[in-house]
Amino acid sequence: MLIWSPGCLIINRSCLKLQRSAVNSDFGEWASALITIALAGAAAASSAQSFTSRELVDVEFGDSNALNVLISSPGAHAPGLYRWAPGVPAPTRVCALASPAGFSFDRRYIIERARGEPAIVNVFDARRCRRLAHLRIPGAVVVDADARDRQLAIATRDKDGNRKVRLYNFRGKPVAETAVGVNVEMGFAPDGKALVNFDLADKTESRSGIWTLPRLTRAQLPTWAREGEMTFVQGARYVKRYTGNLLSVVRWPDGRHLHTVTASQNARLRALSGNGRFGLLHQRQAQIESLDWIDFASGRRLTIASGQHGSIDHATIDATGHMLAWSVRSTDGDNRVTVHRASIDRSGETAVIRLPDPARAATDKPAPQVGPP
């Protein structure tokens, strides 16, 4: 369904914001570019599957280019891990999950957290949803967790407000623990040699920074990491660093800058390809948000999704940078979330959004090209 609206085009209830920098001021060329945007947006949205979920719907590419879709409790219909194989019209559920769950930072595990006394943490492999660890955490609330290489890091808060990070192996044996600050956004570093808490609000030297494994011995953050906002790029060897109006892709732990682009304060790099060249940039202007595919090396950039603020849940890109998936939340308040799949064809001068189904490839149209950010 296409609907005209001032400054945007409604495609299947999503508003695609028109960037005047992407079109010529001549009206004929402007209209032609607008039609191109509409067709490309419709193509990108035509391979989709809807779910009902109050929580975020996460997506990640797995083996053989199958898309893993994680539907988390509570407030979801049939929560669990779903696999959507290429060429298959609908995903199938691999396993059910009864409690809030999310992917680990390296995207190889699913971590399920259940409140109660004791709190329960389960770890599953993201391929077959086979349970690998089951831990009971008495006397505390689990506020964050991450897993890597059969190790599990859990951030807890007890009834007195004390917060700790505890390290376990998958057999449930405690390895080490350390105090942390009020705000916890922690995970295993991309090289797997340390645990990092990127809590910029807590400047307490003993509570923020990096802890080497396995003893959680505190170490100094690298000099390059002490300014700006920094966190992991899920599933990648890199971190994303925001300083002023600059977004950098930085290799851990030596701090080598692969790419730096200008970006607004509300822009977020949601995913990176394996070599760090291609990414998905999520940003907002007024009440419209967009998800852009970006080639950091060439500056090519195109919008693959756009809608009202708060509508884009998650996004992912495969290791090569040409397969994309994202989830969009309905603004009708019905908890409907639609997962979309598409790919980028970079063989020509203009990048093209393509459908997964070869039978429908004839409908593919070039997407608008925007200059370097």
Amino acid 9: pLDDT: 32
- Whole-model pTM? 0.79
Spatial CB neighbours of 51, under 8 Å, sequence gap ≥ 6: 57, 69, 71, 76, 77, 336, 337, 338, 339
What's the pLDDT at 365?
A: 37
**Residue 198's pLDDT is what?**
65
Please report, for the chain, the start and end positions of each structural domain, with discontinuous segments joined by +.
2-363
**Digits of tens for pLDDT over the chain (373 positions)?**
322 233 333 333 333 333 333 333 343 333 333 333 333 443 333 389 999 999 889 999 998 889 999 999 888 989 999 999 988 888 999 999 999 999 999 999 999 999 999 999 999 999 999 999 999 999 999 999 999 999 999 999 999 999 999 999 999 999 999 988 777 778 899 889 999 876 555 555 555 578 999 999 988 878 888 777 777 788 888 888 888 888 889 998 898 989 988 888 788 889 999 999 999 999 888 788 899 999 988 888 888 888 776 688 899 999 999 999 999 988 888 899 999 999 998 777 777 777 665 444 333 333 333 223 2
Q: How is domain 2-363 classified at the CATH fold level?
A: Methylamine Dehydrogenase; Chain H (2.130.10)
